[in-house]
Amino acid sequence: MVGKRWTSEGVIRVLRFSGVALSHVGLVRSDNEDSGFMGPSCMLVADGVGGAAAGEVASATTAYVVSATALSVPDSDPVAMLRGAIRLAQEQVALGVARDPRRAGMATTLTAVATDGKRFALAHLGDSRGYLFRDGTLTRISRDHTWVQRLVDEGSLAEADVPYHRWRNVVTRSVNGDPAENGDVAELDLVPGDRVLLASDGLTDLVDERDIAHILTDHTDDAAVEHLVDAALAAGGRDNVTCLLATVIEGPPVSADGALLGAVRDPWNIVDASAVRMPHSA
Ligand SMILES: [Mn+2]
C-alpha cells in the first residue's frame, strides 16, 4: 500500500477520497431518515428507523458523531477512531432515548470508511452496503446484519431469493444505544483508482448489483451517483435513497471538510452536538 511520503519535489502525498454524494427522500416517504457525510478522509451512510421522528435523530446523531470524530483526529489510526466513534454514537443514541422516551426503539445502520492518509478502515452495522469497484468488478465489502443474511449463511436461503424475502428488512445489529454492540470494524486495503460506493437499502433493495456495476462502468463518479439515484426512483423509490461514490486518490493533503446529507443537515436532529470533544490545541 502507498503511504504518506515525500515526493522528489518535497511535497507530502496522502491517500484520500475524491467523492460525490446524493440523498433523496424518494417517491413514497414524506421524510428523509437517511444521513450521510462525504469528506476527503471519511465517508458514511446511516439509515435511521423509529417513530416520532426518531429515525432522523438516530441517523443524524450517529452521522454527526462519526464525521466529527473523524475530522477532529485526522491522523489517528482509522480502526481505533471508528471503534471509538461507534462507542460514542451508542452512548448518544441511548441518551437521546433517555431524554425523550417516545424515541424508544430508535436505531440506525452505519457504514463508514475512513483514512488517516495511509491506512483505511471500514465500520459496519446493519443493512446499508459498502462496495468496492476495482478493475471493472463490483465487490460487496460489508456483510448485511439481517435475518435473511443469517439464513443465507446457514444455507437455508438462496442469495437470489433475498430481494423477495418478506423479512429482508429485519436488521439484527445496529446503532441502537446498546453499549455492548461494537459493530464490525476492520482494516480495508484500498489503492489509488479504487472506487468506493456506500448506499442505503433504498438503492440496493431496488437496483440489482449488475445494474449498479453497469452504471459505475459507464459513468464518472459525478454522473454515476445521479444515475444510481435515478435508477432507484425509476424502480419505485419506495424508500429514502442515499449514495456516496468516491475514488481513492493520492495527492497533497487538503484541509478536512465535507458535505452533510439528509437528516444530519438539520442540527435539531443531533442529540448533543457537544459530545464530540475536539483535542486541545497546543
Ligand atoms: Mn432505508
What average pLDDT score do residues 95-114 get? 96
Residues 225-251: pLDDT tens digits? 999 999 999 999 999 999 999 999 999
Residue 251 burial class via C-beta count within 10 angstroms: exposed 0-12, middle 13-18, buried 19 and up: middle
Residues 174-183: pLDDT tens digits? 999 999 999 9
Say whether pLDDT at 88 is over 90: yes
Distance in Å, CA 280 to ligand 1 centroid: 37
What average pLDDT score do residues 35-53 get? 93
Distance in Å, CA 46 to ligand 1 centroid: 9
Distance in Å, CA 241 to ligand 1 centroid: 7
Whole-number pLDDT of residue 2: 45
pLDDT band at 255 (very low <50, low <70, confident <90, very high): confident
Distance in Å, CA 238 to ligand 1 centroid: 9
Distance in Å, CA 160 to ligand 1 centroid: 20
Hey, what domains does the chain have and what are their CATH numbers?
9-267 (3.60.40.10)
Distance in Å, CA 128 to ligand 1 centroid: 8
Euclidean distance between the first and the last CA atom of the chain, given in angstroms as a whole number? 32
Distance in Å, CA 33 to ligand 1 centroid: 8
Whole-number pLDDT of residue 282: 42
DSSP 37: E
Say whether pLDDT at 119 is over 70: yes
Q: What's the CA gap between 32 and 26, in Å, rounded? A: 8
Q: Which residue has the cell 490545541?
A: 281
Residues 161-172: pLDDT tens digits? 887 888 888 999
Q: With contact defined as beta carbons under 8 Å apart, do 25 and 240 qualify?
A: yes
Whole-number pLDDT of residue 143: 95
Distance in Å, CA 89 to ligand 1 centroid: 19
pLDDT above 90 as % of the chain: 83
Q: With contact defined as beta carbons under 8 Å apart, do 59 and 265 qualify?
A: no
Distance in Å, CA 244 to ligand 1 centroid: 14
Whole-number pLDDT of residue 8: 61
Q: With contact defined as beta carbons under 8 Å apart, do 238 and 206 qualify?
A: yes
Say whether pLDDT at 280 is over 60: no
pLDDT band at 160 (very low <50, low <70, confident <90, very high): confident
